[in-house]
Amino acid sequence: MRHFSIIALLALGALGASMQPALSQEPIKIGVMFPLTGPLASQGVPERDAIKQAFDEVHDVVAGRKIELIYEDSAAKPDIGLTKTKALVERDNVNLLLSELVSSVGAAMAPYVAEHKIPWISTVALASLTRAQKSPYIFRFVPSSYQYALVAANSGKKLGWKKVYFIGWNAPPARESYQVVKKIFGAENVVDAMFPNVGTTDYAPYLTKMDAQPADGIFAAMWGADAPRIVEQWAEYGLNKKMPIFGIASFTSEELLTDMPPQAVGVRSAYTYCGTLDTPENKKFVDEFKAQHNNAMPGSYMYMGYMAAKMVIAALKDINGKVEDKDAFIDALSKVHVKGPMGEASFDEHHGMVANFYELTVEKGADGHLQNHCGQLIPQVRDPYAMFP
């Protein structure tokens, strides 16, 4: 059955190709660099795969031109990432970049990309890409730290929280998130702000401190393996009965839920992706991803990689594949509106992401696994430039 449909698609593709003589043109080369080795490979590899999935849907052909994805590994190190970016641009002559998730690599790439005038659709959540390091060639399809923290802080406020704790990585995204929480709740209402290092294994000192002086809730800004770890210890210390956690950004992202303890049920967050949302676009995305990844759910990173690729495809269609005209491509990309798994998305005037957010609560799914319950939709969230310049 599956084979037949593939053959049918191939036949259709061949038919389409025969009608479009433009296919004889040179392929559009897209540089796709992510951390494919090292501790962040667990996010980098599936995000790269999600980008590939978006191009597979159009059979690697846009406006009659073949798409060629060229992969590189940044190893999550800025100097390696920069060297690899140079390789993609100067050796492989890519037309555009669709790359990266590590903020230090992104910060190192930005000046180079701007200088060489290579359109870069960044999946790095670096606020500076649409602020201090802004360039007409840089687009950011992932919310900035101010953008996602503002949504989280407002949602926490709506829950009736007055006094809060903030705990987050000793790194820029968490520090910036803290600025937002401080602004929304007032500095006097943040009982304490704590910044453990990335990869901290023991949160006991922080959790006992919170236990001693209770507040309405905890804002947590840490990701990767650290999010499940702090939830586990928070439950171990019995804090789950005293103070709820509101996770900032991808704290309860689907790929992290598999490592969370059962007590994680009820942990909240508010972010760009909700795996259980019932739309045909999301069903298509999830089913295809699961089929290729051993039944694993896609998370927010994969969603944003997939959507960033869809934005590129839409813009390429608008300019009829003439990617060599960079100004036209940039213009098309900044105007493009794409309906994806979570609804419509676009870029703002500074090339930051505009997309729907959902309030999420961890719940137990029918199959016993943890999943996100899609709560209130927060439509078309924009980067708050005026509030956080």
Partner 1 sequence: MNTEPRQRNNAACGLAAILILGMLALPYFLSSYYLGLAIEMMIFALFAMSLDLLVGYAGMASLGHAAYFGVAAYTTGLLALRLGWNVWLALPAGVLMAALTAALFGLLALRTRGSYFLMITLALSQVAWGIAFGWRTLTGGDDGLPDVPRPALNLPLHLSWSLAGSTAFYYFVLVAITVATLLLIRIVISPFGFALRGIRESEARMLALGYNVWRYKFVAFVLAAVFAGFAGCLYVYYNRFVSPDYLHVARSAEVLLMVILGGAGTLIGPAVGAAVIVLLQNLISAYTERWLLILGIVYVFVALFAPNGLVGVFLEYRASRIKRHVKRLNS
Per-residue contact string for residues 132-171; x = within reach of partner 1 by CB under 8 A:
-x------------------------------------xx
Q: Copy the structure tokens of residue 56.
A: 């597979």
Element at 377 (helix H, strand E): strand 370-381
Q: Which of residues 335-354 bind partner 1 (CB under 8 A)?
A: none
- Residue placing its CB nearer to partner 1 in the complex, 17 or 87: 87
User: Is residue 255 at the binding interface for partner 1, with CB under 8 A as the rule?
Assistant: no
Which of 52, 66, 84, 140 binds partner 1 (CB under 8 A)? It is 84
User: Is residue 292 at the binding interface for partner 1, with CB under 8 A as the rule?
Assistant: no
* Options 110-118, 223-231, 254-262, 306-314: segment touching partner 1 (CB under 8 A): 110-118
Q: Copy the structure tokens of residue 332.
A: 């098309």
Long-range contacts of 327-333 (CB under 8 A, 24+ apart): 329/96, 329/119, 330/119, 330/136, 330/137, 333/119, 333/121, 333/139
Which of 23, 36, 58, 378 binds partner 1 (CB under 8 A)? It is 36
Long-range contacts of 169-173 (CB under 8 A, 24+ apart): 169/195, 169/196, 169/197, 169/198, 169/221, 169/222, 169/223, 169/226, 170/195, 170/196, 170/197, 170/198, 171/103, 171/198, 172/103, 172/126, 172/145, 173/103, 173/125, 173/145, 173/221, 173/249
User: Is residue 90 at the binding interface for partner 1, with CB under 8 A as the rule?
Assistant: yes
Per-residue contact string for residues 168-197; x = within reach of partner 1 by CB under 8 A:
--xxx-------------------------
Q: Copy the structure tokens of residue 46.
A: 């599936």
User: Is residue 37 at the binding interface for partner 1, with CB under 8 A as the rule?
Assistant: yes
CA 90/CA 188 separation, integer angstroms: 52
Amino acid at 236: E
- Residue placing its CB nearer to partner 1 in the complex, 105 or 297: 105
- Residue placing its CB nearer to partner 1 in the complex, 172 or 343: 172
Which of 82, 193, 328, 377 binds partner 1 (CB under 8 A)? It is 82
User: Is residue 91 at the binding interface for partner 1, with CB under 8 A as the rule?
Assistant: yes
Element at 345 (helix H, strand E): strand 343-347
User: Is residue 104 at the binding interface for partner 1, with CB under 8 A as the rule?
Assistant: yes
Dihedrals phi, psi of 363, to nearest 5 degrees = -140, 170
List interacting residues with partner 1 (CB under 8 A).
36-37, 72-73, 77-80, 82-84, 86-87, 89-91, 103-104, 107-108, 110-112, 133, 170-172, 198
